[in-house]
Structure 1
């Protein structure tokens, strides 16, 4: 088993006042030669956007973009005609494909929004842009892992143009789980949103990340009051 550890306090950080962002991988002005991506996982940003602030219209292409609000809400608009608000308990996906313009604003006037924005390299370029969002709130009562993303349009959660699976686990008691990879050759990036977990000799706490590859199963000990995102992605070189 091959691993790469990213402790929370080693992430890139940029505080623009209205935006307080932490970058697990190189992004914008943060550049680290050893932290460009984990397989097809290109971006994992932990963003806090101030009340009433946000990103104006900007372009993307040939990228699968997943947004998971942790607290608060985020208003999305794009040139495909979509206008929606996502909030904690939702997941949003956008296939940028041939090109899309979108904006993201915090519609609340008195509280910030905290979200994870994740970019995945797609398995094909030039696809027709698309947008989707669903509620994943029902996982909050489960002491286990729930699939929230896959390559399958008819599967649980949202789908993307990549051989990737995301699972979210919310635990209110100590729980042991074995994660079995969906596809041989994939890697798993484990990101602790809240609480603590143990994987072999690694003890991970809030906002720590651990990349795991060259194995088919991972045993994880989840601490009480933990919330963890598991991202299985292909490990092909970019």
Structure 2
């Protein structure tokens, strides 16, 4: 079963320095029909004004993933990490028993756009950790995060997987899930058909009890999506 949620139906928040779209209830946006999906708690599409950002604040017991779409992020946290993330890079901050951090637009002239993703962990009270990596833009399925961090993926504290999927113009990709019964697809760029359901940029699909998914890109350019395998 596939349940489609269109981009324009997401929650929205605009604070001047931050323009954000929420796939799930977050902050002042609350929708009892869209609280989470399995262990996936947050997907926020954030656009941050030049020089602005999220001041130092705390989290605990949450896997916080950032994926930079445009621009760059200046990251600082209470475990001593001071890093810059460029477009195309992924960051996972496992908050564990508690961590404080800030995330700022590194540019004084250009906006920053990134996806902020939260996944609930299956273990609480662990030691906080930080990971950062670029996986490139290869066509096909690139696995970003796994529970064991195998094959040079990032490690996430949950029996889940995160993949980047890029499909060339006119190409088809068949996805066979490897674990669980829950898949979530977040379309980033372009339009794709999944088992005859069309997703455009910003759309999301909750998929349950489907072992095989067929993705078809009928456009003239590449499309990009994130695919979550969830418990």
Asked if TM exceeds 0.5, the reply is: yes
Displacement of 1:166: 1.2
Q: Which residue of 2 aligns with 1:110?
A: 109
RMSD between aligned residues: 1.1
Check the 8 A contact 1:143/1:175 in 2, yes or no. no
Check the 8 A contact 2:167/2:173 in 1, yes or no. no
Moved more, 28-37 or 171-180: 171-180
**What secondary structure is seen at the aligned counterpart in 2 of 1:155?**
helix
TM-score w.r.t. the length of structure 1 is 0.93
CA distance in 1, matches of 2:216, 2:167: 11
Check the 8 A contact 1:13/1:21 in 2, yes or no. yes
Q: How does 1:1-238 map to 2 (within 5 A)?
A: 2-137=1-136, 140=137, 142-183=138-179, 185-223=180-218, 224-234=221-231
Alpha-carbon displacement from aligned partner over 1:102-133 (angstroms, at most 9, x marks no partner): 00001101001100010001011111100010
TM-score w.r.t. the length of structure 2 is 0.96
Aligned residues: 229
- Which structure 1 segments of 5+ residues have no match? none
CA distance in 2, matches of 1:175, 1:169: 12
Alpha-carbon displacement from aligned partner over 1:9-51 (angstroms, at most 9, x marks no partner): 0000001000000000000000000000011000000000000
Alpha-carbon displacement from aligned partner over 1:135-164 (angstroms, at most 9, x marks no partner): 112xx2x32111111112233421100111
CA distance in 2, matches of 1:156, 1:150: 10
CA distance in 2, matches of 1:72, 1:186: 35
Check the 8 A contact 2:135/2:142 in 1, yes or no. no
Check the 8 A contact 2:89/2:133 in 1, yes or no. yes
Runs of 4+ in structure 1 deviating by more than 3 angstroms, as ranges, are none
Q: 1:172 to 1:180 in 2, by over 3 A?
A: closer
**What secondary structure is seen at the aligned counterpart in 2 of 1:77?**
strand
